[in-house]
């Protein structure tokens, strides 16, 4: 099977100013993606069919399947009539640890990795991010301004999320997009891990709301500053505080709100 095009052409009936006529619009594709580690499926996600190797690596890191990209031996994306398999092959020691984890969690519940530890996993303590980064108001605004024109898929469809990495020295380093906000961030984490870009030296910029999972994944990246156009949940704020992360929300052209660690932000 060949990879799916991430965009499809649609012909909706268009209503404007009380009149009806033919329309045309690009809309994003959504496909099932199985994340497979050492020939065993870990999760199946609905995702935009693009940057799936990045997705597999980022998911493996942010969900704790691996602790570092070096524990991944190889990644291959295989297309089937039902969707895609992102096959991740682990180094021997990490593969053995994952096998032991699966056996431990399967137990009497019979539901694999979502079994007895699922509640604890949902509210797991975040990684602690580093120190040393400070940003100015102008830099936060520059990161926001750089993300919008870089959203190629979003510009065509107006229906996907984006996650970007911006540094004061380089500007916008990388952007990844997906119909799922978590997937977009996982793809970005994977792309940065493959390139060797450190998470401590830049700003993570999101087009989505800030839920606790987004903070947890950002902490794995090592992001000291997270900026998003929407507001955070209360649990996301508490998790960012526990991670030592600066959480900036409701970011617009005319300003933003700093929910945690405002000491990193200067006028």
Of these residues, 96, 111, 125, 145, which one is catalytic? 111
* Strand intervals (E) in 1-67: 7-10, 13-16, 19-22, 25-28, 31-37, 40-47
Long-range contact set of residues 6-15: C-beta below 8 Å, sequence gap at least 24: 6/48, 6/49, 6/50, 6/153, 7/153, 7/156, 7/157
Q: Which two tokens stand for residue 235?
A: 């649990």
Element (H, E) at 218: helix 212-221
Q: Determine the Cα–Cα distance for residues 224 and 15; give it in Å rounded to an integer.
A: 45
235 CB-near residues (< 8 Å, 6+ apart): 123, 211, 212
Alpha carbon separation from 74 to 70, 162, 178 (Å, rounded):
10, 26, 23
Q: Determine the Cα–Cα distance for residues 160 and 34; give it in Å rounded to an integer.
A: 20
* Catalytic annotation present for 114: no
Where in the sequence numbering do the catalytic residues fall? 111
């Amino acid at each position: 099977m060949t990879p799916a095009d991430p965009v499809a052409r649609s012909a909706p009936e268009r209503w404007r100013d009380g009149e009806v006529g033919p329309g045309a619009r690009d809309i994003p594709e959504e496909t099932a993606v199985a994340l497979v580690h050492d020939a065993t499926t870990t999760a199946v996600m609905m995702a935009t069919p693009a940057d799936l190797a990045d997705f597999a690596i980022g998911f493996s890191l942010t969900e704790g399947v691996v602790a570092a990209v070096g524990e991944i031996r190889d990644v291959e994306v295989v297309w089937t009539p039902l969707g895609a398999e992102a096959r991740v092959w682990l180094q021997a020691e990490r593969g053995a640890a994952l096998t032991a984890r699966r056996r431990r969690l399967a137990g009497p519940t019979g539901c694999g990795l979502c079994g007895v530890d699922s509640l604890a996993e949902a509210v797991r303590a975040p990684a602690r991010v580093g120190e040393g980064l400070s940003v100015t108001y102008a830099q936060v605004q520059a990161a926001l301004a750089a993300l919008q024109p870089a959203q190629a898929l979003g510009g065509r469809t107006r229906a996907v999320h984006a996650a970007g990495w911006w540094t004061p020295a380089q500007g916008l380093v990388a952007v990844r997009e997906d119909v799922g906000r978590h997937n977009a961030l996982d793809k970005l984490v994977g792309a940065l891990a493959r390139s060797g870009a450190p998470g401590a030296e830049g700003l993570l910029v999101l087009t989505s709301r800030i839920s606790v999972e987004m903070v947890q994944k950002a902490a794995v990246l090592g992001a000291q500053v997270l900026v998003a156009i929407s507001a955070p949940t209360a649990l996301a704020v508490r998790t960012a505080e526990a991670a030592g992360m600066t959480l900036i929300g409701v970011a617009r052209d005319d300003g933003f709100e700093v929910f945690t660690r405002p000491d990193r932000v200067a006028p």
